[in-house]
A = this chain, B = another copy of it.
Amino acid sequence: MDQPLALPLDIPARGRLEALHGQLRAAILDGRLAGGQGLPSTRALASSLGISRNTVVAAYDRLLSEGYVSARHGSGYAVAQGLAKKKVAAPGDEGDRRLAARWRHLARPVRSGGKVPMRYDFCVGLPDASRFPFDAWRRLSARALRSLSRTPAVYDAPAGRQALREAIAGHVSFARAVTCGADDIVVTSGAQQAFDLLARCLVTPGRTVIAVEDPGYPPLRAAFEAAGASVVPVPVDAEGLIVEQIPPAARVIYVTPSHQFPLGMVMSPARRMALLDFARRHGAVIIEDDYDGEFRYGGRPLDALQTLDREGLVFYVGTFSKSLFPALRLGYVVAPPWAMAALAQVRQISDWHCDVLAQDTLALFIAEGHLARHVRKMRRIYAERREALIDGLARHAGDLLTLQASDAGLHVATLLRAGLPADGLVQRAAGQDMRIEALAGYSIGAAPPNGLVFGLGMLPVARMEEATQALGRLLKAGR
């Protein structure tokens, strides 16, 4: 039974086999040729297309060997069953069923992206990359690549390149008095990977309790929730995390002692001692997130918790997302010796190691003094912006908000006068192409502070007056 093909085939003068095979295959896959349908005999098809029978035989053979057609009992070929395109399941019950429950129940999706920059952009968490010495980076990257091209392609150590670990150890020992050597450092893809690796090492799902600052840094919470930890918020006051309110069951405590995120206070010496004491007594460990500790505008910094720790209780997490720029995805954790092997193993399972070229470039960048120089330069620039911001806020909206005391970092937090809800302001600001953020976005507890956070990374000092004026108008209109 030789039924003709109800399928338009377009066979060119050259490449006939490829064309015939490809068009039949496409028709099988998209359902124009249905499963079970018989194909014309090679002779009939060749004749109808005006091509050689050998070409048709070759095309059928190929489809057969690929499983698109099957040989019929007797003779001839039929389209194989079950190949025609069906609608791919839309995200919904069918899809969700396949995803582990925990991904559906994460407390909140992590924010990302949006239009950058807005006209008045006080986006939190971004440095100003426009002053970055891209030329130096390019030159060092070329040098690192040349050196890399002379060595074989191998997988490297999960903890990172030796030269970079040494450079980071030198940098952090000098800049933050963190006592460490290269062997204590795991290079990570930004601070976020450090949090994720720590969560995966330290959390026993369903059992481990982590205490975090409230308000605090949501992506850290997301990493620990994903690992199956119970996240318990602990309030902060003018001295930082209120240590007495840490639940005794907490086995991990996350703090930002140099510059509380997002409120900005420095953790007091007494609290630091109390926190270390808590960890000692309860067998807990501390994650010290020093995300923008390089940017201090006055006074001598207090020593890191890591510096004070004598017993291997503290994981010190640093990042180059603020001192260089986030697109690089480079950070590190200074870990106690007992945890190094586990961290390296989890790192290897996660993604083996960071891009070697970026690591080698950064190692040269630090060793040649560019990092220290760039941080010094940016510290001056952010300090000017910060002063201009604080000054502008005082003049244009001084009676409507209260500055949170802080002398470090890339953002400034303020509390709003009662009756001026931050959420509405944020939305009205967006309507005027201004980005401000509500403190409540970083809160967990029932009574979030009513305030705003201003990032210093996107607005040059020359535009601060204009921006704070616009903000003042907005606030006054909201009264």
A residues neighboring B (CB under 8 Å): 29, 62, 65-67, 80, 82-86, 88-92, 94-101, 103, 106, 109-110, 112-113, 116-117, 125-130, 132, 134, 137-138, 141-142, 145-146, 148-149, 152-158, 188-190, 192-193, 196, 200-205, 208, 219, 222-223, 226, 228, 251, 269-270, 272-273, 276-277, 280, 283, 285, 300, 302-303, 307-308, 310-312, 325-330, 336-342, 345-346, 348-358, 457-458
A153 touching B357 by the CB < 8 A rule? no
A155 touching B328 by the CB < 8 A rule? no
A351 touching B132 by the CB < 8 A rule? no
Q: Given the interface contacts A188-B351, A273-B67, does A357 sit within 8 Å of B339 by beta carbon?
A: no
Copies in the complex: 2
Among residues of B, the one whose C-beta sits closest to the C-beta of A110 is: B348
Assembled-state Cα–Cα distance A451/B153 (Å): 25
Q: State the Cβ distance, A211 to closest chain B Cβ, in Å.
A: 15
Q: Which one, B158, B208, B277, B310, contacts A85 given CB within 8 A?
A: B310
Assembled-state Cα–Cα distance A443/B327 (Å): 40
A128 surroundings in chain B (CB, below 8 A): 153
Among residues of B, the one whose C-beta sits closest to the C-beta of A116 is: B154
Assembled-state Cα–Cα distance A276/B94 (Å): 17
Assembled-state Cα–Cα distance A341/B104 (Å): 10
Assembled-state Cα–Cα distance A116/B156 (Å): 11
A99 touching B342 by the CB < 8 A rule? yes
Assembled-state Cα–Cα distance A228/B144 (Å): 39
Q: Given the interface contacts A67-B270, A82-B277, A352-B192, does A129 sit within 8 Å of B117 by beta carbon?
A: no
B152 touching A134 by the CB < 8 A rule? no
Q: State the Cβ distance, A250 to closest chain B Cβ, in Å.
A: 13
Q: Which one, B84, B142, B154, B202, contacts A142 given CB within 8 A?
A: B142
Q: State the Cβ distance, A142 to closest chain B Cβ, in Å.
A: 5
A98 touching B158 by the CB < 8 A rule? no
Assembled-state Cα–Cα distance A277/B81 (Å): 11
A272 touching B137 by the CB < 8 A rule? no
Assembled-state Cα–Cα distance A96/B128 (Å): 42
B327 touching A357 by the CB < 8 A rule? yes
